[in-house]
A and B are shown apart, each in its own frame.
Chain A
Amino acid sequence: MSEVRLQVKNLCKSFGITKAVQNVSFNVNKGEVHALIGENGSGKSTLTNMLTGIYSIGSGTFILDGKEIHPKNQVEANNEGVSIIVQELGTLSGLTVAENIFLGHEDQFVHMGIKNTNAMNKKATELLKQYGFDRIKAADIIDNYNFEDRKLVEIVKATYFNPKIVVIDETTTALSQEGREELYKHMNRIRESGNTVIFISHDLPEILDKSDTITILRDGVYIDTVKSKDVTEDDLKRLMVGREVTGDYYRADYGEKVSDEVVLSVKDVTVPGLIEDVSFDLHKGEILGFGGLSESGMHEIGKAIFGASYDRTGTVQLADGTQINDIPSAIKHSIAYTSKDRDNESVVLNQSIGDNICLPSLDSLANKLHLLSDKKLREFSNQFAKQMSVKMVNVNQFVSELSGGNKQKVVLARWIGKDSDIVVLDSPTRGIDIKVKQDIYQLMNQMRKNGKSIIMISEELMELIGMCDRIIIMKDGKISGELERDEAMDENSLITMMVYGGRNGESS
Chain B
Amino acid sequence: MVPALLAFGVAPLMLGVANRTKAIMAGRVGQPLLQPYHDLVKLIRKGAVYSRTTTWVFRAGPVVGLAAVMIAATLVPLGGVRALVAFPGDVVLFVYLLAVARFVTVLAALDTGSSFEGMGASREVTFAALAEPALLLGLAAVARTVGGFSLSTMLGAATARGWVAAAPALALVAAALLVVFLAENGRIPVDDPATHLELTMVHEVMVLDHGGPDLAMILYGAALKSWMLGALLIGLVVPVRTGVASLDVLAACAGMVGLAVLTGLVESQMARLRLVHVPNLLVGGTVLSVLALLLILRSS
The answer to whether A and B come from one shared complex is: no
- B interface list, Cβ under 8 A from A: none
- A interface list, Cβ under 8 A from B: none
